[in-house]
Structure 1
Amino acid sequence: MDNAFDLDVWVNEARAEPFKFKLAGRVYTLLPAGELDKLLSDRQRHVLKADHGIAPVERYGDGPDAALATDMGVTPYQVRQARAKGKNHSAG
């Protein structure tokens, strides 16, 4: 009998179903990952991935925005704006 955790099934469910969790006695619900993706522009998604090194984007972390901006073909200001808007959307 195969008792292996099926990550493919879990990812599909996480993209479609809200994520509920409890913290300090309160129940919270996060948007399904698929819905959150729809809220972010391509630029916002790319900048947030670069901040954390989420594949396929290289990790820029706390590095200067100018390096990421050059790689993206945009200005450092546009990187900062995309980051702020992306974080605002993901914070709900």
Structure 2
Amino acid sequence: MEFLQFFDRLIPYDTFINDLSARIVKLLKSDNDDPEFISQRKAYELFGRRNVERWRRQGKVEIYKRPGKVEYRTADLRLLQRTSQDYLENGREK
């Protein structure tokens, strides 16, 4: 039996894969009803204005301009929401 070693314990490979796949399925189901694009107002509401503005400044998210509105791809924002962020990068010293 193969194991994966983490800082505090060993986990059987099969257990890790099963847990990982269950989590992926859960995330896919939760995102299934998301529209492809959301308005800037809705993005600020769901993800926080400061987060969205920081991601734009850092070039991590692209805006899509439509007549009379600014939109974001929902999947891009969800990915950034789930990614560990370095809040001190781009212009600030660590």
Q: What's the TM-score, normalizing by structure 1?
A: 0.32
Q: What's the TM-score, normalizing by structure 2?
A: 0.32
Identify the structure with the greater helix proportion. 1
